[in-house]
Amino acid sequence: MNPLTSVPGAIITGVILAILAMVVIPGGGFGQFNELSLARWFHILSGITWIGLLYYFNVVQVPALAAATADKGGPGGAGIAKYVAPRALFWFRWGAVATLATGLWYLARSANLMGAIMLGMGGESVNLYQLVIGIGMWLGAIMFFNVWVLIWPNQKKILGLTPATDDQKAAARKTALYASRTNFILSIPMLLCMGSASHGLPF
């Protein structure tokens, strides 16, 4: 099987290469299993999937569909709505689940979950790591809520997966757009906090 001809083949090949990297890197190997590193790796992979698709929707698909709709002599956006959007939304919403789950896994196993929930204010002094990662976590939780409560239910109406009138579809487009654009905005400080918690703020 050529791994370049299918998504499952590419994913499997990438995982195999990652395992090989773990074996050949000095200090690695299966005898030194590190659950926190595994959780972080899964969190990064799922986060890239989720946020990458969020950026695709906001920067590429939504503007492209608007241009296709305005182009009265063009092919329109039916192909994107029928073939691309449902698949992208599948990976988008389940990427959000995986990102949240692996993030909570990592924080719980590193004994930082409650501290992050409390924004580092659970002790006598503020824990800076828990404050910064906690802000990122809460922003991510808001974004997760928007995906499953606002974006996906309304996208089902837009795509015809749930019965809806034309007026309901118009309202659904507005709600889904605003929720997605809100997530796009929140992702910028969220990513700042996630990266800065361990590596320092860039100012």
pLDDT tens-digit series, residues 166-180 = 999 999 999 999 999
Q: Model confidence at 76, in pLDDT bands (50, 70, 90)?
A: confident
Average pLDDT estimate for 123-152? 96
Q: Over 60: is that where the pLDDT of 31 sits?
A: no
C-alpha–C-alpha distance, residues 181 and 58, integer Å: 7
pLDDT at 33: 67
Q: Which value, to the nearest 10 degrees, does the dihedral of the CA atoms of residues 99, 105, 106, 111 take? A: 150
Q: Which residue has the higher pLDDT, 187 or 25?
A: 187
CA neighbor of 11 nearest in space, from 22, 19, 2, 3 = 3
C-alpha–C-alpha distance, residues 78 and 86, integer Å: 12
pTM for the full model? 0.90
Give DSSP secondary structure letters for 121-187.
-SSSS--HHHHHHHHHHHHHHHHHHIIIIIIHHHHHHHTTSS---HHHHHHHHHHHHHHHHHHHHHH
The mean predicted confidence, pLDDT, of the chain is 92
Give the residue carrying structure tokens 């182009």. Answer: 71
Query: And the tokens for 117?
Result: 């929930």
CA-CA distances (angstroms) from residue 35 to 30, 41, 110, 172? 11, 10, 10, 41
How far is CA 67 from its chain centroid?
26
